[in-house]
Amino acid sequence: MEKLVVSQGLFYEGNANDLRAIHPIPVVSNVSCEFIASPAEVAFREDSFDPVTRIRRGRFYVKSSNISRWHIGRVDSGSFDPYHIGKHNGMADKMWTPDVSYDAWQPNLRPESIESRIVRIGDSGFETAWRVVGSEKISIGHVLVTLRAVSLVGVLPDLIKPIVDKDGAKVDTGAVHAALESLVDAFHKQQPTPIVDVARETTKVILTTWIGTHAQGKDLGDVVKEIPKGKNIACWAASVVNRLHPRGKSSERESREEKGLPLRPLTTEDAETSVHLVGMLLREIGWSTP
């Protein structure tokens, strides 16, 4: 199963002696990644995709430097079978040449050396970024990789590069990226209360990084007070996220109820609002495009 070939838009898999058509036709995309050191074209064959968790699983192939050839009689086209007539009219030994041939990627790397590395799927400007979160060798000898989307498109704006604090100094983006990824994960998979909880923590991480070290260790309500004058929308956005947080706590609602100040329980729309407010905050402090 070390071969993947393409002929007239159809995909075949097999070895140097035999091929069989793949049905249904797989999703195969060009990729770029630093850990596959090959001057040849690299392709990713998708075996499964979960749009909710944004997880793709599949295998890498490297374009062969030489196009291999097969006897028509050793190529099983299945339901496609474009050579059915030829096989039964004395043409079984005729050579069959595909348009493109790939070899299954056989890494000489340790699994941990590729985990957390970025893979860009697509080309010609139409690309998405994915992070390797796992790899395993399956029974046919291929390495099956698990990729997780890192793009925040559709949920939060992407960060510009570089990002700077309120005084114009470059800052480390590690904590910010981690917080944003946690928020996107919560947005896709969690109920309203945990989404708002993560939005509040993400807001605190963003503001603490933007304001500086003197904001660290403070509650979000106190951090909001450190926002410079003139950044009213950023202040309001962070304040609303902070005020939504108690509504997900039954103890807080009960306490307010006893004081005659009832709190409306959180809804899905509230949770979505908290995430969009984080996006607004990023735009207001200049960390994303307008």
- What pLDDT does 172 receive? 87
Choose among 99, 135, 143, 121: nearest CA to 27: 121
User: Helix, strand or coil for residue 148?
Assistant: strand
State both tokens at 229: 């004058």
State both tokens at 269: 């729309």
- What pLDDT does 92 receive? 57
DSSP 39: S
- What pLDDT does 218 receive? 92
CA distance 19 to 14: 4
Helix residue ranges per DSSP H, the chain: 84-87, 174-189, 192-211, 220-224, 232-244, 250-258, 268-284
User: What are the pLDDT tens digits along the chain (290 aa)?
Assistant: 899 999 988 999 999 999 999 999 999 999 999 899 888 899 999 999 998 888 999 999 999 988 789 988 888 888 776 554 445 455 656 888 999 999 999 988 888 889 888 899 998 888 888 989 999 999 999 999 999 887 666 678 888 888 999 999 999 889 999 999 899 888 878 889 999 999 999 999 999 999 988 888 899 999 999 999 999 999 999 999 999 988 887 787 778 777 787 788 888 889 989 999 999 999 999 999 77
- What pLDDT does 55 receive? 93
**Prediction pTM value:** 0.65
- 281, 203 Cβ separation under 8 angstroms: yes
CA distance 98 to 115: 33
Please report the domains of the chain, with CATH numbers, ordered by start residue. Answer: 3-149 (no CATH), 174-284 (1.20.120)
